[in-house]
């Protein structure tokens, strides 16, 4: 069974989606650790409901960014995770910790990458007059939100949409997208590195689509 570590800074709804899918029997995986860089409640509740404590690694207790990253990934490695999922993890990770784990670390990002890496993605899609928006799951590489895109979910932008309405319509799709990609990882259908993604042993020329 796929062993998954989740890194989360915020409310943890993507973590909860994974846990719910596991509980329903829709996802053959186990969450072996939840790792947070913030002391706020957020991802703590879903982790506790699933019977495991979320580990808090405090950036302020570490002298440098790299010290924090090493402390974090020492713990992640100790969990024995096969797959590391960044789900709303709001820190930029050092190349020293990302590079050795590229083939087993993914991130969910709320835009149709390569459009809108970084923050405020919903507002930026609206400001650009886009007719479509979405979310991506991509391989984590040292550059921010820049790794090969594995899969995307898309939705139409409607007249009157605001950043808030868009975010609210996108979130359940994000959850389905992340669960599907983790499922494919568990089924060993996905293989990736810093440059390319293979699905069923075929090189992907564009992201997989998830509704």
Binding site for ligand GRF (CB under 6 A): 8, 10-14, 87-88, 108-110, 135, 174
C-beta contacts of 22-30 below 8 A and 24+ residues apart = 26/179, 26/183, 27/179, 27/182, 27/183, 27/186, 28/1, 28/2, 28/183, 28/186, 29/1, 29/2, 29/3, 29/4, 29/83, 29/182, 29/183, 29/186, 30/1, 30/2, 30/3, 30/4
Tokens of residue 11, six digits: 């409310």
When CB distances to ligand GRF are compared, the closest residue is 88
Please, what is the minimum distance in Å from the beta carbon of residue 136 to ligand GRF?
Answer: 9
Q: Which of 109, 122, 133, 138 is catalytic?
A: 109
Q: With respect to ligand GRF, which residue has the nearer C-beta, 135 or 151?
A: 135
Please, what is the minimum distance in Å from the beta carbon of residue 44 to ligand GRF?
Answer: 12
d(C-alpha 21, C-alpha 157), whole Å: 28
56 carries an active-site annotation: no
Q: With respect to ligand GRF, which residue has the nearer C-beta, 11 or 169?
A: 11
Q: With respect to ligand GRF, which residue has the nearer C-beta, 38 or 76?
A: 38
Catalytic residues: 109
């Amino acid at each position: 069974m796929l062993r998954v570590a989740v890194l989360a800074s915020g409310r943890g709804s993507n973590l909860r989606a994974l846990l719910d899918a596991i509980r329903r029997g829709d996802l053959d995986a186990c969450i072996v650790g939840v790792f947070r860089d913030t002391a706020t409640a957020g991802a703590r509740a879903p982790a506790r409901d699933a019977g495991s404590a979320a580990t808090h690694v405090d950036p302020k207790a570490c002298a440098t960014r790299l010290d924090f990253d090493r402390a974090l990934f020492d713990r992640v490695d100790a969990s024995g995770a096969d797959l590391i999922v960044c789900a709303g993890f709001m820190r930029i990770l050092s190349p020293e910790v990302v590079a050795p784990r590229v083939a087993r670390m993914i991130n969910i990002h709320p835009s149709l990458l390569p459009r809108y890496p970084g923050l405020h993605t919903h507002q930026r899609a609206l400001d650009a007059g886009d007719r479509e928006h979405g979310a991506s799951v991509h391989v984590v590489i040292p550059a921010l939100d820049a790794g090969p895109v594995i899969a995307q979910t898309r939705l139409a932008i409607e007249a009157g949409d605001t950043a808030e309405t868009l975010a609210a319509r996108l979130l359940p799709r994000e959850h389905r997208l992340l669960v599907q990609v983790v499922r494919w990882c568990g089924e060993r259908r996905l293989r990736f590195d810093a440059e390319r993604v293979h699905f069923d042993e075929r090189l992907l020329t564009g992201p997989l689509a998830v509704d």
